[in-house]
Amino acid sequence: MSLADKVLAVNNDLPIRTDAPVHSGKVRSVYWLTPADSQRLIQEKGYDVASDAPLAIMVISDRISAFDCIWHGEGGMNGVPGKGAALNAISNHWFKLFRENGLADSHILDIPHPFVWIVQKAKPLMIEAIARQYITGSMWRSYAKGEREFCGIEIPDNLEKDQKLPKLLITPSTKGILENIPGVPAQDDVNITRKNIEDNYAAFNFSKPEDIDLYEKLLKQGFDVISDELAKIDQIFVDTKFEFGYVTDKSGTEKLIYMDEVGTPDSSRIWDGPSQREGKIVEKSKESFRQFLLNHFPEPDILLNKDRMPERAALAKDNALPESALMDVSQTYINIAEKITGQKLILSENPRAEIIQILREQYGLID
């Protein structure tokens, strides 16, 4: 079996019973179950959700996105071996720790396979909740150009690249295009201030104003739990993006939960501790792949300049990357997953066939 066969690149064509279109993101695909199947599983499996809650099957893939494009490699490699399993294993580990530490639940109800989550429908906050402990990446690029205010927060002069910030900084941005919010451009992923959120809390999907404090608290607590655990294996949690939403439990109580993924190399920057102390940054996240792309192509501005999106899309479509570049990403993801979870990551020989078999035999979701 070739490397390309072990990669789950296409995840939106599984024969899962659904009467809704499959929603495909950059990495995950979501299959909304029929009301009959949702209710049956809630009863059979005893999930702590309302009896009529919509459920979905969320299938991760091994695709790799960077700079808002999906990339592929030589030899038909349309993803990175082990990436999907690593992301899910890391998220599962952190979600479990969050629950054990009394923080909040996640949208995950069940994990039938390393690539698959059964999730409940949540009402998402329209916020990418970002927390930063160091100044690096896009924030550093803006700071180097003279910016000193980030999301309404003033930060001091004389900071150096990759320096630790005086305190954890919360720099939220919009999730999707939000219209008719004063002072907030109708564009995806624009920085917003806490005042923007307070003045328009309902537009960001908050049920009540005091939940703004709760989301910030859960963001900080989640960041601290991950940061403390990573410190135990001498890794540094640099910055991250969390997502939140509302669900209703069995008793009819609405609660704010963590959604999507947390603390993964896709959604966070993680640095190697020993290297950082020697003055060298070694990325244990997708940042190393971004740096590879910036060095690989002669005109990095295409990747950094949002006005050159058509050229960027063509670059990703027309260029098969060296297999070695994707295997470097594979090693980074597998190694950090095994370090975090303390367990060897078992890679599927044929993830697609395994998923179909489990969902048919144990969940009755495939005819």
CB of 245 within 8 A of CB of 124? yes
Query: Looking at the DSSP assignment, which residues form a beta bridge with residue 244?
Result: 258
**Cα gap 356→15, rounded to integer Å:** 8
Q: How far is CA 96 from CA 116, 214, 239, 262, 335, in A?
A: 16, 19, 20, 11, 20
Three-state DSSP at 10 gives: coil
DSSP code for 27? S
Q: How far is CA 346 from CA 72, 112, 334, in A?
A: 23, 15, 10
Residue 2 has what pLDDT?
67
Residue 209 tokens read as: 């104003």
**Residue 245: burial class (beta carbons within 10 Å; 0-12, 13-18, 19+):** buried
Three-state DSSP at 157 gives: coil
Residue 349 has what pLDDT?
84
In our burial notation (b when 16+ CB lie closer than 10 A, e otherwise), range 255-279 reads: ebbbbbbbbbbbbbbbbbbeebeee
List per-block mean pLDDT (blocks of 10 residues) for the chain, which spans 367 residues: 77 96 94 97 94 95 95 93 95 97 96 96 95 94 93 94 95 92 89 95 96 97 98 97 94 94 95 96 93 96 94 97 96 96 91 95 96
Structural domains in the chain, sorted by start:
3-122+347-361 (3.30.200.20)
Please write the tens of the pLDDT for every residue from 65-80: 999 999 999 989 999 9
**Cα gap 5→13, rounded to integer Å:** 16
Residue 319 has what pLDDT?
97
Q: What is the DSSP string of 256-321?
A: EEEES--S-TTTEEEEEHHHHHTT---B-STHHHHHHHHHHSS-THHHH-GGGHHHHHHHHHH-EE
Q: How far is CA 233 from CA 51, 67, 260, 271, 340, in A?
A: 42, 29, 25, 11, 8
Please write the tens of the pLDDT for every residue from 206-260: 999 999 999 999 999 999 999 999 999 999 999 999 999 999 988 989 999 999 9
Three-state DSSP at 352 gives: helix
Residue 115 tokens read as: 């690539």
Residue 1 has what pLDDT?
56
Residue 328 tokens read as: 């470097």
Please write the tens of the pLDDT for every residue from 128-156: 999 999 999 889 999 999 999 999 999 99
Residue 7 has what pLDDT?
87
Query: Looking at the DSSP assignment, which residues form a beta bridge with residue 111?
Result: none
